[in-house]
Chains A and B, each alone.
Chain A
Amino acid sequence: MTMLHTVNKSPFERRTLDSCLGHASKGSAILLLEDGIYGALKGTVVADKIKDATADHPIYVLGPDVRARGMSEDQVIEGVSVVDYEGFVDLVTSHDNVQSWL
């Protein structure tokens, strides 16, 4: 079973991302969306944590949420893939289960 985890909280305000990383088994995918996208950007204090996590998890970020918040795809951490809503749908259907870390 491979799972998709989603995180929609800013890592600077909530501990949701940490909780997700702590509970996601190796190989499971993580999608950052809504305010969760702030965790996917270079140059922040959590950037190294995410970069390290890409060794264990495919990590994705929802592009529409990145652009909406004035960030560009160039600012997304290397190894994190940008997807659109169709890509989000593909992630859901290609994994056995979805866990939303609300």
Chain B
Amino acid sequence: MSTPMPSEPWEEQEKDPAVKKFMYVNRRAPYGTIYALESLEVVLIAAAFEQDVSLVFLDDGVYQLKKGQDTKSIGMKNFSPTYRALEGYDVEKLYVEKESLWTRGLTEDDLVVPVQVVSREELRELMDQQEVILSF
């Protein structure tokens, strides 16, 4: 948990007391469809709501984090550097499923940002703890 910003007491009272566990589930590769990009856009907005946010990358979603993306020749914007900026938005819980990585011949070293690699079993437990699951 990050340290809460110092604030005036009356501001505290104004704040919505509900902090929910939000999980964003990314299961699709980038560029072929817009889901990866627009999912990331939701996460950036969601950061302002001070909820307990986790991002999960599994199945083809792990390809979103592949290092060295060069989109010049396809005429699309390379949005992979944005994953590195998430920390600045206090989005720090990035989980990547181990099984999804090795199925695709990838390792943690192939990823553009530091993540927590979790087993399918651990991911199952994480999912069970969530209150809102957004899948794109």
Q: Is the CB of B59 within 8 A of A99?
A: no
B residues 90-136 in Cβ contact with A at 8 Å:
120, 123-125, 127-133, 135-136
The smallest C-beta distance from A15 to any residue of chain B, in angstroms, reads: 7
Query: What total of chain B residues lie within 8 Å of the partner, measured CB to CB?
Result: 17
The smallest C-beta distance from A52 to any residue of chain B, in angstroms, reads: 18
Closest to B130 in A: A97
Contacts of A22 in B (CB 8 A): 120
The interface residues of chain A, by DSSP majority, are classed as: mixed
Complex alpha-carbon distance, A23 and B120, angstroms: 7
Q: Is the CB of B133 within 8 A of A97?
A: yes
Please judge, given known A-B contacts A97-B130, A102-B27, whether A23 and B135 are in contact too, CB under 8 Å.
Answer: no
Q: Which of A23, A98, A100 contacts B123 (CB 8 A)?
A: A23
Q: Total A-B pairs in contact (CB under 8 Å)?
A: 37
Interface residues on A, range: 10 to 19
Complex alpha-carbon distance, A1 and B127, angstroms: 10
A residues 65-102 in Cβ contact with B at 8 Å:
96-102
Q: Is the CB of A19 within 8 A of B135?
A: no
Q: Is the CB of B124 within 8 A of A25?
A: yes
Closest to B120 in A: A22
Closest to A24 in B: B124
Complex alpha-carbon distance, A71 and B45, angstroms: 43
Please judge, given known A-B contacts A24-B124, A25-B124, A99-B135, whether A19 and B27 are in contact too, CB under 8 Å.
Answer: yes
